[in-house]
Amino acid sequence: MESRNGLITFAIFVVLFAFSFVLGNDGLATQNTTYGVLSLIGFVVCIAGSFFNGFTAKKNGEALAVWFLAYAVVVSILFVWFCTRCGTYFQWWS
């Protein structure tokens, strides 16, 4: 992957994460299940895509591997936070 393509892909993942985060918060605040499901899909795509690109870039020895893998870790942490908010909202645990 070239540097330009990697940066564009990284920017697309950041925008997707921003939309997922906003949709998740709005879905929980307004009790809109569609927004929550779209947010869940967005988080999973961000995590899977960034891990895939990170490991591919690492295999090729590119510097963007660190960025993609760090991004995947940050999104994973916020995904767990989103899931705990959903669990609290649906009263799966008290």
Residue 71 inside a domain? The answer is yes
Supply the pLDDT for residue 94: 63
Range of the domain at 8: 3-88
Residue 43 lies in a domain: yes
pLDDT of residue 1: 64
- Please indicate whether residue 73 or residue 94 has the higher confidence score (pLDDT): 73
Q: What is the mean pLDDT of residues 74-89?
A: 91
Alpha carbon 59 to its chain centroid, in Å, reads: 22
pLDDT of residue 3: 73
Compare 27 and 71 and report the one with higher pLDDT: 71
The count of domains in the chain is 1
Residues 6+ apart with CB under 8 A from 27: 33, 34, 35, 36, 38, 39
